[in-house]
Chains A and B, each alone.
Chain A
């Protein structure tokens, strides 16, 4: 897959505050790229630089192989975006908003095409209602319709599920997957809902305090060598005793619930050992989710060095 976004040594300073610090990454054509970080980590600042809303203090951005500084118009013609909250004209109708955006995007749409676009996101019946009467979910759907009206190759979504109900979140997730897998769009998505990224992204980048702390394929990042395994048995006290008297004593992390740290490959051996010891095993659950991983990276840097040694 060829590179669609290439960011090199990107930095942004606001006065004495460094919002983004020497950030480099690339996004391949056709993939869903998750962009993770806690609040104020520098996600929105990075996205705003990708969309020419703010100018970098240092570094370079190339999209579609072109420099954003010198080929802004060409790049934005092929890019659709939603930045943080829905930015729509509240005093205009959904139809009027979409008509304005299509003209600004350089597309000439007929009334029928505009209504069709609203149908795609499920708000055609409210086409002629003012946006200020819309729910958050409807505004988000209209925002998506606006972002896609010119059939962009690259879609940049900043926190697209913010303020949505569970159904709305599921709809956005399905739409992202559809756009990526069925229509071959490249999607750059930031979210604080890490479970969402886990479900939709092919690759991801984690930043903290403006700096990259991890980057790679989601399946690789979620499959670290060490994982936490939580055990539930009919008699936890006996199980603890059995484990403490065995080779597994060094793996125990917590007593209640019983949690062990081990290599994933060791899980079958542990199960076999417990059965041999007549432990009535009720459940065994690997706990290392993206969320655990993300928090471990962004709240302390203890895994950063290990991660870098392993994947970079």
Chain B
């Protein structure tokens, strides 16, 4: 299996489209950091406007932890598209090039081929998130320094001591990885059906956009199905920035995401085993 994963990773990192995601993330992080570096005080003043009369905050509020928190909120909405670019191409791209025939006629089981591709996609997803974390967190710390983190919630303002932040970011990173692997496995599932990668990318993004709309709309009919939508659980990385952390809720969301990954990959396996390769 490791041999197959290595082959798939080799192929992924030889494709120019792989680097689009890294370049996009680097550009977004750079522009957010630049914007805060030049004009961050105005943003912070705006955020604080509603609570200015109640109390005063002293210290370096616009620090590296705060900037990365903003970056995470921004990026984790867009990263699914970047992940779908690669995950949606894993099978459909091979079908399009005709190389799926080549793979399926080799003495390797179809299940191994598919799982090799899935693990490689997951590793790519983790590497992309790590790149984002390193550039976003450590880059922001270098530029803006460290201090306590102020988190704006809908009904409260939470102040987290700087010594209590790093583990939250590591935990949030793990949770975000799980969320993004769920997205990757969805695009991967669509990829099994298609013979070019555009279809799976659009299909995966359409599902995410639709589910996100259903998640955010506060209508009783939708509220009843929200617990079953994976998009409802994807943003629960923010749970690690509560005090105290609602471990039960975060764990529940993680299990729902794992369940979705298992379901999407199992379905992909079932379909791929039965698929006639006609490309």
Contact = CB atoms under 8 A, between A and B. Distances in A.
Interface of A: 48, 51-55, 72-74, 76-77, 79, 81, 83-92, 96, 100-101, 103-106, 146
Given A87-B98, A89-B97, A89-B99, A52 B3 contact: no
B10 interface: yes
Contact of B99 (A54, A77, A88): A88
Contacts of A100: 7, 10-11
Chain A facing B: main interface SS: loop
B107 interface: yes
B277 A103 contact: no
11 contacts: A54-B276, A55-B274, A55-B276, A76-B105, A77-B107, A87-B100, A87-B101, A88-B99, A89-B97, A101-B106, A146-B102
A87 B97 contact: yes
B276 to A, nearest CB: 4
Closest 3 interchain pairs by CB? Answer: A87-B98, A54-B276, A104-B106
Contacts of B11: 89, 92, 100
Contacts of B98: 84-87
A91 B14 contact: yes
A53 B105 contact: yes
B14 A54 contact: no
Contact of B104 (A52, A89, A92, A101): A52
Contacts of A88: 99, 102
A92 B7 CA distance: 12
Given A100-B10, A104-B4, A105-B107, 5 more contacts: A73-B108, A89-B11, A91-B15, A101-B106, A103-B3
B8 to A, nearest CB: 10
A234 to B, nearest CB: 56
B141 to A, nearest CB: 37
Interface string B211-230: 00000000000000000000
B142 interface: no
A270 B22 CA distance: 81
Interface in B76-122: 97-109
Contacts of B15: 91
A106 B98 CA distance: 21
B195 to A, nearest CB: 13
Chain B facing A: main interface SS: helix
Which residue among A51, A76, A77, A104 has the maximum number of chain B CB atoms within 10 Å of its CB?
A: A104
Interface string B13-25: 0111000000000
A81 to B, nearest CB: 5
Nearest to A90: B97
B49 interface: no
A54 B274 CA distance: 9
A81 B99 contact: no
Contacts of B277: 48, 53-54
Contacts of A53: 101, 104-105, 276-278
A114 to B, nearest CB: 15
Contacts of A48: 276-278
A85 B11 CA distance: 21
A54 B110 CA distance: 12
A104 B104 contact: no
A55 B272 CA distance: 12
Nearest to B274: A55
Interface string B233-258: 00000000000000000000000000
Which residue among A72, A81, A92, A100 has the maximum number of chain B CB atoms within 10 Å of its CB?
A: A100
Contacts of B108: 73, 104
